[in-house]
Amino acid sequence: MANPGMIGGGRLTRAEQSGDKRRFEAKKISPGPLLKRMWKYLGRNRLLLILALSLSVLSSLLSLYGPKLSGEAINAISGGKGKVDFDTVYECAILMAVCYVLASLFGFLLHLVMVRMSRKVTKQMRHDIFEKMAALPVSYFDKFQTGDIISTVTYDVDTVNQSLSSDLLQILQSVITVVVSLVMMLSIAPKLVIIFAFTIPVTFLFTKWLSKRVRPLFRRRSAALGRLNGFVEEMLSGQKTVRAYGREKAVLEEFDRKNTAAVDAYTKAEANGTLTGPCVSFINNLSLALVCVFGSQLFLKKQIGLGDLSSFVQYSRRFSGPINEFANIIAELQSAMAAAERVFTLIDADPETPDAEDALKLESVTGDVKMENVDFSYEKGKPIITDLDLHAPPGSLTAIVGPTGAGKTTIINLLMRFYDVDKGAVLVDGNDIRQVTRDSLRKSYSMVLQDTWLFHGTIFDNIAYGKPGATMEDVVAAAKAAHIHGYISRLPEGYHTVLSDNGTSISKGQKQLLTIARAMLLDAHMLILDEATSNVDTRTEQRIQAAMRNLMQEKTCFVIAHRLSTIRSADNILVLDQGQVVEQGTHESLMAKKGFYHRLYQSQFDAVT
């Protein structure tokens, strides 16, 4: 997700920040609130939900009326005196057929409704996640692996949706079946119901104990799959580097370790989860055996008819069946809740600090930028920038140089307000950027990064990305200024050539020229270049710089440069070392001082020779 002002390339990297990206950790949420939030997604489709509930109730009640009719038919046959009431038998048989046919029809319609609802729930949940991702600060994506987050958007959402569309509804049907069956059994033989007063608590206690044991296993399974996806995404994006260094074997070994860990986590979760079904089934079969034993004694004592006993046995199976089914799906529920924790952790992540209610909207920006007594750290206790002062007058070119880790890219992070300063202030035209809207601030900049970003679409669409409504003439003019028009014209489809997979079919230099053309097209008041010409040859680089200066006249420019020879004409060179400004001035004045900048400049030529 590119920010409005990030027109030149992809997300700004945090080169100066120490530490690797962490794995995505889900926060623990108790089952009650978790199920309630999951259920709310069904509640957003009220008409479909009401229809599904109605079909579920009708289907369950019709199928539960069958055993009652079956018992009446048996009683009509075994009523005594050698007479069989065939009229009653035929009537019960016809009614049973009608009930079961209608129950099946309603069940089929219920399946269609749930498929439609499932599609809507999945769409809404992914929309909510992506909407939240668009509101998250850049720091969030600096912390976690991309593949791990993608795993949440795809696998975890599908897992939750499966539970919402089938498991929760199945539990509802089970509740209806259990309640109706219990009422019918009480009406037939209350004494036999006492058997379930012992077996049901045993089932409940066992299921509760196993749930506490199984849920952490499914949580670890989701985390292991997320780590595996993160590793795969990382290795696929770095295939050329892997092959260039001959690290295929090492990568395969690391993949095997992560894959084995994911499989082991999956196996442990599934193995423990599937214990529930057989154990609960044993308890239910035991209760059925007790019903048959004690029911036969009541029949011999003529306290219950044969048909009633048959009905009771069928209802007892219906009563025990849902409990057994619930035990079978409890593993799926545990998996769904572990996945839901990851989904809601992402949805609940703190968004970017909202703009102040009285925030100003930058308009007619002149480009006067100041940083006053700025302190900043990515992690408390580990300062990156300390006591930084900077003034970039309108139309000036400020170059930021220094060794790796000095804080160069961090300054750009602060200028764009991807991060807020810990102390001091950043001012644009005299306005503290914390008191202006982020949208207007970032649209006041155009940016070209060393890490280029192109999306799937035509070359025209990629160049015109930051300026909706741009004409072909505008795009061509920008491409000519960026010295990429000739290359585009030689393509079979010209500006309508489709780029895919981040433009892997073209060279890095060409990709960078396209992002430079994109930045040139944007009518911004300030420009940020983060080593933007690192992938082009020196001659082209000089032409681009000349064209850039012509296009950006009277606009404020910030350039991060590693090749110091490229910023000799800068109005002000900011020399950083360990987060502090050690020198400022023009190239000539800094060279005359023979200080830190002079040593940096000379070291580059010494390295070449």
- Per-residue pLDDT reduced to its tens digit, 170-193: 777 778 888 887 887 787 777 777
- The backbone torsions φ and ψ at residue 457, rounded to the nearest 5 degrees and listed phi first, read 165, 180
Q: What is the pLDDT of residues 255-274, one digit of tens each?
A: 888 888 888 888 887 777 77
Look at the domain 452-523 and name its fold: Rossmann fold (3.40.50)
Separation CA 593–CA 477 (nearest Å): 42
Phi, psi dihedral angles at 425 (to 5 degrees): -155, 150
Q: How far is Cα of residue 563 from the mean position of the Cα atoms in its chain?
A: 38
- Write out pLDDT tens, residues 31-56: 778 778 877 887 788 888 888 888 88
Closest CA to 568 of 577, 576, 559: 559
* Structure-block tokens of residue 559: 């350039």
Domains 372-444+526-609 and 452-523 share a fold: yes
Which tokens belong to 496?
């309508």
pLDDT at residue 13 in the model: 41
First to last CA, the chain: 43
Mean pLDDT for the stretch of residues 555-579: 81
- For 70-96, the pLDDT digits (tens) are 777 777 676 544 566 677 778 888 888
Output the pLDDT for position 503: 57
Mean pLDDT of the chain: 78
pLDDT at 425 over 90: yes
Pairing of strands 445-448, 526-530: parallel
Please, what is the Cα angle at 59 between 54 and 63, to 5 degrees?
150
pLDDT of the residue at 501:
61
State pLDDT tens for residues 200-210: 777 777 777 77
C-alpha span between 309 and 295 (Å, rounded): 7
Outline where DSSP puts E strands in 249-312: none
Query: What is the per-residue pLDDT for 313?
Result: 76
Q: How many CB atoms lie within 10 A of CB 77?
A: 14
Question: Structurally, what CATH architecture does the domain formed by 372-444+526-609 represent?
Answer: 3-Layer(aba) Sandwich (3.40)
Residue 296, pLDDT score: 76
Is the CB of residue 348 less than 8 Å from the CB of residue 28? no
16-25, 211-220, 356-365: least confident range = 16-25
| pLDDT single digits (tens) 454-490 | 878 889 988 988 788 889 999 998 888 888 898 899 9
DSSP E strands: which ranges in 433-555? 445-448, 457-458, 498-499, 526-530
Instruction: Decide if pLDDT at 168 tops 70.
Output: no
Task: Give the per-residue SS3 of 130-171.
Answer: HHHHHHCCHHHHHHECHHHHHHHHHHHHHHHHHHHHHHHHHH
Quick one: how far is CA 322 from the chain centroid?
Answer: 34
Higher pLDDT, 501 or 261: 261
The tens digit of pLDDT for each residue in 125-135 reads 888 888 888 88
Between 99 and 25, residue with greater pLDDT: 99
Q: What is the band of 433 on the pLDDT scale with cuts at 50, 70, 90? A: very high
Half-sphere exposure of 177 (CA within 13 A, CB side): 26
202 CB-contact burial (10 Å; exposed 0-12 / middle 13-18 / buried 19+) = middle
Query: What SS3 class is residue 598?
Result: helix
The CATH code belonging to domain 117-347 is 1.20.1560.10
Q: What is the pLDDT of residues 151-164, one digit of tens each?
A: 788 878 888 887 77
Task: Write down the domain spans for the chain.
Answer: 117-347, 372-444+526-609, 452-523
> Stretch 338-355: mean pLDDT, rounded?
84
pLDDT for the residue numbered 426: 93
**pLDDT confidence of residue 331:** 64
Confidence of residue 533 (pLDDT cuts 50, 70, 90): low
